[in-house]
Amino acid sequence: MEKENVNTIKYPAMLDAKLDKIALELGLSKRALFIKMVEYFYRTKKDPTDVSDDLLKNSFAKSHKTYTSFIKTQEQLLLIPMKEAMDKMISNQKDIVKYFNEQVVGANKTILKNQQEQNSKLLETEKLLAKVIDGKEKLKANFILILNAYIRNREELGSFKSREKEELIEDVRKQVANL
């Protein structure tokens, strides 16, 4: 066996307990853990005394900028056009509802006006019809009176008085014409 060049490091016993615990959790010997730690700090060029780890912060900041730019791109490509389209659709819907309401209200007013006119004309027609029916009944009654008077007077005249019969006929015609 070759003999390795081995150096020793002295450190406090409390640090040895922490080193034991970390080595046990990672399944490494203390020596292998120490080698890995040295390699890690050597490759990453991290300062072990810098607890805030600026490289990690820079990595997070870069990721954050990437996510932010992705979200802004999506906003420009998708969200803003969708919002504009929805706003336009809502505006169009409002215009349609407004136009519909104006048309319906206008049509309803026209229909109501026409119904009122029709109702008043119907009432006038009913009054006129009542007068016609009433007038018809009066006309019938007057005509029957004239006819009865004619029949009675003709019976009284007898058969030989032609001039008086002519006068009676003429008188009855005038009365019927005056109805």
CA distances from 7 to 49, 79, 154 (A): 23, 63, 170
Residues 6+ apart with CB under 8 A from 26: 33
Q: Which stretch, 14-28, 34-48, 71-85, 139-153, has highest mean pLDDT? A: 14-28
Residue boundaries of the structural domains of the chain: 9-48, 135-177
The pLDDT, as a whole number, for residue 160 is 59
pLDDT tens sequence across 14-54: 999 999 999 999 999 999 999 999 998 889 887 777 766 66
Q: Above 90 in pLDDT, residue 124?
A: yes
CATH assignment of 9-48? Answer: 1.10.1220
- For residues 155 and 100, which has the higher predicted lDDT (pLDDT)? 100
The pLDDT, as a whole number, for residue 152 is 74
